[in-house]
Amino acid sequence: MKSTISFISLALITAVAGNIYAQAPKIVSFSPVSGPVGTQVTIKGSGFSTTADSNVVYFGATRAAIKTANTSQLVVTVPEGATYKPLFVINKITKLSGTSSLAFNTSFSVPADGVAPKVRFLPDTAALDVQIIDIDGDGKTDILATNANLRTLMVLRNKSEKGTID
């Protein structure tokens, strides 16, 4: 009788604990590992939500559009502003996240007439600890930098429109 009660207690604890602890998203692989903006990338792993809107994927600083989702695979589109960092997945249902071990390499083609002349956009003060991230969630990468001499944080918001830099 005592062993039966112990077994039932263990079964109940296991059932309850299994519902409390969710599995964090785990990225096992993704392909292709490089490509231009607009490329469809298949992310394989576990712990994803079956609803596309319940997952969030970042290519470095920028959020990607998710086309399809199931518990072991996400199909996403490389966004404009993707940076060379590991992929980052958030399951909004479990509120857990996971990171790939490799970074996605966004490729670019150089136009036949070459590249435009250099454009200076940083302030004249020394910028340290520069980070590229989408601060305001508009899909454009912004720049954060510190200035040790002035003890300030510089926030350079990307307010550009396609084809221009302002």
The DSSP secondary structure of the chain, one letter per residue, reads -HHHHHHHHHHHHHHHHHHHSPPPPEEEEEE-SEE-TT-EEEEEEE---SSGGGEEEEETTEEPEEEEEETTEEEEEPPTT--SSEEEEEETTTTEEEEEEEE-EE--PPPTT--PPP---S-SS--EEEEEE-SSSSSS-EEEEEETTTTEEEEE-----TT---
Lowest mean pLDDT among 11-25, 91-105, 148-162: 11-25
143 or 46, which is more confident: 46
* pLDDT above 90: percentage of residues in the chain: 46
Max mean pLDDT range (116-120, 125-129, 131-135): 131-135
- Whole-prediction pTM value? 0.68
Residue pLDDT, tens place only, 4-49: 555 565 555 655 554 457 799 999 999 999 999 999 999 999 999 9
